[in-house]
Amino acid sequence: MRELSPYDIHRRHLRSYFIPEAAEFRLTANGDGSTQLEGISWYRNSMWPSAYWRLWSDAVLHQVHMRVFEHIKALSERHDTSRATQ
């Protein structure tokens, strides 16, 4: 990643201070025929103060999860008309 700036700025988040480790999404069948989707991510954050940056990192990852959830929801609720004609 590279930031556009007329200045020579060395951002910490571009120098291995925020390292996403892994992500996992789980589908769990509910008794009523619906499905529950859960997501979790693991990361390392070496920026100081850690409590401050953890708030921002968690907020960003939450937004990423929500986008994935919304996309999966839209795909799962989309009606496939090609199957209806077969």
Q: What span, in angstroms and rounded, lies between the C-alpha atoms of 67 and 25?
A: 13
pLDDT of the residue at 26: 92
pTM of model > 0.95: no
* Dihedral (CA of 80, 82, 85, 86) sign: negative
Collect the ranges in the chain with pLDDT lower than 50: none
